[in-house]
């Protein structure tokens, strides 16, 4: 008998294999750029032949669109969860800004810059960018409307307020590829200041230290992301 028995290779289901491919492509998109997503590159990432990738994505443009959508959706779920049963709108919005500012968010900002540029030439990606923009507006607007209904926020037009906040965040994110160390603190805090002004909140409401952003329950521990910085500060302090 042979001294060792070769382990049987586990065959993944089509759904699992497809998800694995999209996840790998999303990682490449975030770390290297959407242009780097090719059948060969993703095959190398997963240690499989490019032909396997093309079996699931005959057109690489479809994979690029899926990769962007996967990465953008994952970040949206982290920033503004659809289910918000363990906190108040103010707490969730403060945590949103703690996540969406500073160096920790730069990879996502670069991804959006990359996607919007390439979408000029790639219809599939352009459609996916539009879908994600609508998803982000919708999720944040839902949070703001919830805050209005609970008396925490004060705005007559949640939709316009949402757009104002996202426009400022996008504007600041456009500098993800440049040095912002010489920007005044007021510039880095511009998105938070806009939100506080448009929602009728006292200055500083949305920049409390992360440890003070509880879950809204007296018996609950602080939010899981208890190491998050205050909005406008670097997520990776030196």
pLDDT at res. 106: 81
What is the arithmetic mean of pLDDT over 125-149? 97
pLDDT at res. 185: 66
pLDDT at res. 207: 86
What is the arithmetic mean of pLDDT over 213-221? 36
Q: 80: Cβ–Cβ under 8 A, 6 or more apart, which residues?
A: 92, 96, 139, 140, 143
Range of the domain at 120: 69-212
In a domain, 23, yes or no: no
Residue by residue, DSSP assigns 69-90 as HHHHHHHHHHHS-S--TTS-HH
In a domain, 167, yes or no: yes
In a domain, 218, yes or no: no
In a domain, 230, yes or no: no
Residue 187's pLDDT band (boundaries 50, 70, 90)?
low
Average pLDDT, rounded, for the chain = 82
Residue 66 neighbours by CB distance under 10 Å: 24
What is the spatial distance between Cα 94 and Cα 116, in angstroms, rounded to a whole number? 27
pLDDT at res. 218: 31
Secondary structure tally for the chain: helices H, strands E: 10, 0
**Count of the separate structural domains present in the chain:** 1
In a domain, 176, yes or no: yes
pLDDT in tens, 97-125: 988 866 667 888 899 999 999 999 999 99
In a domain, 96, yes or no: yes
In a domain, 79, yes or no: yes
pLDDT in tens, 172-185: 777 666 665 666 66
Residue 49 neighbours by CB distance under 10 Å: 13
pLDDT at res. 234: 33
Residue 237's pLDDT band (boundaries 50, 70, 90)?
very low
CA atoms within 13 A on the CB side of 195: 28
In a domain, 182, yes or no: yes
Q: Is the pLDDT score of 19 beyond 80?
A: yes
CA atoms within 13 A on the CB side of 216: 12
We report the CATH number of the domain holding residue 192 as 1.10.357.10
């Amino acid at each position: 008998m042979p001294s060792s028995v070769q382990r049987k290779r586990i065959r993944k289901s089509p759904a699992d294999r497809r998800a694995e491919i999209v996840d790998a492509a999303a990682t490449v998109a975030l770390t290297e750029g959407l242009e780097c997503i090719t059948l060969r590159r993703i095959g190398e990432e997963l240690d499989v032949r490019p032909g396997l990738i093309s079996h699931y994505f005959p057109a690489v443009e479809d994979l690029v669109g899926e990769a962007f959508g996967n990465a953008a959706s994952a970040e949206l779920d982290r920033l503004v969860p659809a289910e918000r049963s363990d906190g108040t709108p103010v707490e969730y919005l403060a945590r949103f800004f703690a996540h969406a500012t500073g160096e920790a968010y730069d990879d996502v900002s670069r991804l959006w810059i990359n996607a919007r540029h390439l979408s000029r030439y790639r219809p599939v990606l352009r459609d996916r960018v539009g879908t994600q923009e609508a998803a982000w507006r919708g999720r944040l607007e839902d949070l703001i409307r919830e805050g209005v209904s609970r008396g925490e926020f004060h705005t007559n037009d949640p939709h316009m307020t949402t757009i104002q906040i996202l426009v400022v965040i996008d504007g600041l994110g456009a500098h993800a590829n440049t040095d912002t160390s010489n920007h005044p603190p007021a510039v880095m805090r511009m998105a938070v200041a806009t939100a506080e002004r448009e929602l009728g909140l006292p200055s500083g409401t949305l920049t409390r230290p992360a440890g003070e952003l509880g879950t809204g329950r007296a018996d609950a521990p602080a939010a899981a992301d208890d190491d998050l910085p205050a909005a406008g500060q670097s997520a990776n302090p030196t």
